[in-house]
Structure 1
């Protein structure tokens, strides 16, 4: 039995280009992902551990896939949007709008989390606050090159899974589940290494409030995920030769 797609069709995306719903969905989705995912690391790490943090990111992503997937595709991640752009799913104008919504949403989510964290006595937010890092800011002290490769591979996995799962106009049953599983898996491996970014918007927001080394190291968590997304889009077009590309023109069905 076919159910409603987690991704809007190309025609639906074009019809929504001048409407606020997709941008608002990407803003809200990224806000929630940062607040709850990073919040698990900032507020509940000693209670839930690495597994709990990873599952929080995965569960929130899974919930968002069904909640806002039919509206915007639930990218909530500039790297995913880049992958969709390179795979021919969306055009550049829509991608830029998504990037703006995602980055602003990530900052807003971090701001709300910062407000809550400040109400917890003794909780330190400076230079940490769930931000990503390498060297002495990594649990295993991974170096710059290792952090770059790790983020590239982790993002490749996530973006490739998103592209593979959503390449059909209609999805079956629980096809959204691999998206959440892939993000949780990336966090299980990546948290000890870099804190796991795979999402520039997730990294930018917390780094702005953490300050210090979180900001000086931020470049890696913007560049590496975007490179990983680009490679994922290229590989996906090889392994899935008939992706759901947005056609140049479409018959008027009105």
Structure 2
């Protein structure tokens, strides 16, 4: 396993998690006015875009266990490399959570994903599971499409970042927008309680969606 690829996944996921937490914790209560859901969505979308440009050539720029497993299902990534990538992604997410726990002003739920009382719209488990599965599948199909051999390589990170922005605009009111098991685990561990008891949903649904998206993307794009 390439140690630089692992380091790139740690760093990229750290920045992804930091973009979620920083926007979620601080932009809503800023004295100059809240950035709100749009601000959070743009924060994570632009961060993933620039990280894909910065280190994507080293590791592929997954930063997400659902993306890694979706690319395995789509025939774009070796299954033997998946576990080290996922461990690196979890480490990056937890490290970012650690930094923000030291900064403070984090809120009781630590921007955790969830349903019921942890959902802005009090969405049910079923509603959250469906949305997280569908949106992650959508995300993987976009990734498969823009990173294909004859695809728009230079603009691929832009398309991926904008897609993630759109996903967050749709999903924040329902599930606080996961589509990324590492991101969900980091928040859940630091929040504890109900968030931690619900975190399985944000592993199961995004991974299921990622695998579906990888398989569908492979079928759509095959020659």
Q: Per the shorter chain, which TM-score range?
A: over 0.9
Which runs of 5 or more structure 1 residues have no equivalent in the other structure? 1-16, 118-122, 243-254
CA distance 1:124–1:56, shift in 2 (3 Å): closer
Q: CA deviation at 1:169?
A: 6.7
1:94-144 deviation digits (Å, cap 9, x = unpaired): 111101100111111111111112xxxxx3533x11110111111111100
Of 186, 189, 194 in structure 1, the residue corresponding to residue 170 of structure 2 is 189
Question: Is 2:75 the counterpart of 1:84?
Answer: no
- Structure number with the higher helix fraction is 2
Distance 1:34 1:223 in 2: 19
Distance 1:139 1:170 in 2: 38
TM-score relative to the length of structure 1? 0.83
Aligned residue in 2 for 1:74? 61
Aligned residue in 1 for 2:18? 35
Aligned residue in 2 for 1:164? 145
Of 78, 89, 93 in structure 2, the residue corresponding to residue 106 of structure 1 is 93
Q: CA RMSD in A?
A: 1.3
Question: Is 2:3 the counterpart of 1:20?
Answer: yes
Question: Is 2:202 the counterpart of 1:224?
Answer: no
Distance 1:173 1:36 in 2: 23
Q: CA deviation at 1:159?
A: 1.5
8 Å CA contact retained: 1:132, 1:218: yes
Aligned residue in 2 for 1:205? 186
Larger CA Rg, structure 1 vs 2: 1
8 Å CA contact retained: 2:146, 2:153: no
1:224-254 deviation digits (Å, cap 9, x = unpaired): 0000001101111221014xxxxxxxxxxxx
1:177-199 deviation digits (Å, cap 9, x = unpaired): 11001100000000000100000
Distance 2:134 2:12 in 1: 24
Q: How many residues align?
A: 219
